[in-house]
Structure 1
Amino acid sequence: MVEFKQTTREWSDRIRRLLKDLKLSQAGLAERLGVSPATVSRWLAEKNEPTAETYVALGNLAGRPDGAYFWERAGIDTSKLPDHSLRQALSSIQATLDDFNLITSKKVSQHLAGRGNAVAIPLMNVTAFGDRVPPHENVRLSQAKVEDVLLAPLSWCPHPENMISMHVAGDSMYPTIPAGSILFVDTAITDRSYLNEKLVVVAHRDLGFKVARLQRLAGSDLLVSANPKYLPLDVSNATKWKIFGEVLWWVSKDLKRNS
């Protein structure tokens, strides 16, 4: 059997190019990714290959179009990602975390556990409305545009390639989710049985998106608001009301902070 030895690994060349493009030293790249300088040195020497989580972070640093290579190495289907620059998100991520309270429906760390675990999540120009609040314009997801790209730790995203974020309007989920918040939605999770008593975004074919807690009863599915002045909304008709995804966490402005 003849064995072919690869003399040059493309991924190491791509990392070298990234260092040059960003004008970073090996130590500087290590700091950005939350790894040791020795780890970066081993990549360049082709002794070890980056992990999937680190490939995601490398793609975030590179941005489009070069970042697609690193994301694909991480196993992400780049055809599903929006064609949008990540540079602005990378430069403003610290400000985003400073200006918002991070609220999560899962017991997860409140800190970025190393930039090597960061995942890019598109913020779409769509809005999940509170009950009885009609949308000014029903923007279908297929027609939606990317406003920005936000980052989150990979450990928070069971399905990174299926994560999107959207705006919230209306007071039906107040005080749990105030108006003006941003939802982070896992669109891979749509099974109604699994989502019973969980926060969800549901899409109506004409009315757009709604956010509430799904409650399954005998013979009916209801959206239950956090605000007691709103009655439950029947979403049993799966033809009209489709589960868009599970709300994993959301961010809302700190109303106590002085502007």
Structure 2
Amino acid sequence: MQKPTEMANLELTTREWSDRIRRLLKQRALTQAGLAQRLGVSPATVSRWLAGKNEPTAETYVALGNLAGRPDGTYFWERAGIDTSELPDPGLRQTISSIQATLDDFNLITSKKVSQHLAGRGNAVAIPLMNVTAFGDRIPPHENVRLSQANVEDVLLAPLSWCPHPENMISMHVAGDSMYPTISSGSILFVDTAATDRSHLNQKLVVVGHRDLGFKVARLQRLAGSDLLVSANPKYLPLDVSNATRWKIFGEVLWWVSKDLKQNS
């Protein structure tokens, strides 16, 4: 049984995160429905947050922090479990050394440490790395983790200028060889989940979700009367994803990080 002081502290904490979300709505001139749309949740979910009935998930806290920006975003990032003391100073003006960062370079960031090779021209965006895999082949492994059941493995940082919709960015793993040599198995994809309009994604790299087959990554090619996923590896035939009720566009792949395969040979 909770003691009165513990219950009081819990109520104070609840009021605090509800008030922070309410303040964010005011600062960004957003309605509850507008915030729900930006975060990909239902208006009822936002209403429960504001009422203190349900607390946002870690992934949602990261998105709220990205939407708020510094300094208010720090509160949301900390609620997500991020050590904000090691996030980059928003005043830093160092130049990004190269987009061709290796996965080893990113290990510095996934450990919540800031690399000199990735200090943006302004605020950094905290991007959740989900324990979800986009499969670069026709048939995925037996286990299929749905995004609603996924956990945040870690948090990666990227410059704000790389993210058209910062609050909608997530990262995920890649397995399979259908996108080789463009994207090798074991890479990490950075996906803008706000970019889902097929008419704007022709010839773009996308992640597409299927209820039973999980996530696929490939290039979307729109033809008269059909939409195809085209792999980089010629041994894989195009996959018809015209049925939008079965194949939903999850988002556009903005960039990815791959480990140099020669280092492993």
Instruction: Tell me the CA shift for residue 169 of structure 1.
Output: 0.2
Aligned to 1:28: none
Contact 2:134/2:217 (8 A) holds in 1: yes
User: Cα distance 1:233–1:120, how it changes in 2: closer, same or farther (>3 A)?
Assistant: same
User: Cα distance 1:73–1:207, how it changes in 2: closer, same or farther (>3 A)?
Assistant: same
Question: Is 2:184 aligned against 1:184?
Answer: no
Alignment equivalent of 1:85, drawn from 82, 87, 96: 82
Contact 2:135/2:216 (8 A) holds in 1: yes
Alignment equivalent of 1:240, drawn from 221, 234, 246: 246
Aligned to 2:175: 169
Q: Letter of the aligned partner of 2:211 in structure 1?
A: R
Residues 175-214 of structure 1, C-alpha deviations (whole Å, 9 max, x = no match): 0000000000000000001000000000001111000000
Structure 2 matches for 1:247-258, cutoff 5 A?
Answer: 247-257=253-263
Q: What SS does the corresponding residue of 2:262 show, helix, strand or coil? A: coil
The answer for unaligned runs of 5 or more in structure 2 is 1-60, 89-100, 107-116
Alignment equivalent of 2:227, drawn from 221, 232, 239: 221
Q: What SS does the corresponding residue of 1:193 show, helix, strand or coil? A: helix
Structure 2 matches for 1:1-259, cutoff 5 A?
Answer: 71=68, 83-86=80-83, 90=87, 98-99=104-105, 112=118, 114=120, 116-257=122-263
Q: Letter of the aligned partner of 1:164 in structure 2?
A: I
Q: What SS does the corresponding residue of 1:125 show, helix, strand or coil? A: strand
Residues 215-256 of structure 1, C-alpha deviations (whole Å, 9 max, x = no match): 000100000000000000000000100000000000000223
Instruction: Tell me the CA shift for residue 112 of structure 1.
Output: 3.6
Contact 1:128/1:168 (8 A) holds in 2: yes
Q: Letter of the aligned partner of 2:164 in structure 1?
A: P
Aligned length: 184
Q: CA RMSD in A?
A: 3.7
Q: Letter of the aligned partner of 1:234 in structure 2?
A: D
| Identity percentage of aligned residues | 81
Distance 1:81 1:113 in 2: 20
User: Cα distance 1:69–1:185, how it changes in 2: closer, same or farther (>3 A)?
Assistant: closer
Residues 67-100 of structure 1, C-alpha deviations (whole Å, 9 max, x = no match): 9599466787x98998232469859xxx976536
Instruction: Tell me the CA shift for residue 137 of structure 1.
Output: 1.5
TM-score normalized with structure 1 length = 0.61
Contact 1:117/1:154 (8 A) holds in 2: yes
Distance 2:84 2:76 in 1: 19
User: Cα distance 1:254–1:73, how it changes in 2: closer, same or farther (>3 A)?
Assistant: closer
Aligned to 2:52: none
Comparing both structures, which one devotes a greater share of its residues to helix? 2
Residues 3-29 of structure 1, C-alpha deviations (whole Å, 9 max, x = no match): xxxxxxxxxxxxxxxxxxxxxxxxxxx
TM-score normalized with structure 2 length = 0.60
Q: Letter of the aligned partner of 2:253 in structure 1?
A: V
Contact 1:200/1:247 (8 A) holds in 2: yes
Q: What SS does the corresponding residue of 1:179 show, helix, strand or coil? A: coil
Distance 2:249 2:142 in 1: 21
Distance 1:70 1:212 in 2: 29
Q: Letter of the aligned partner of 2:127 in structure 1?
A: I
Aligned to 2:37: none
Contact 1:89/1:149 (8 A) holds in 2: no
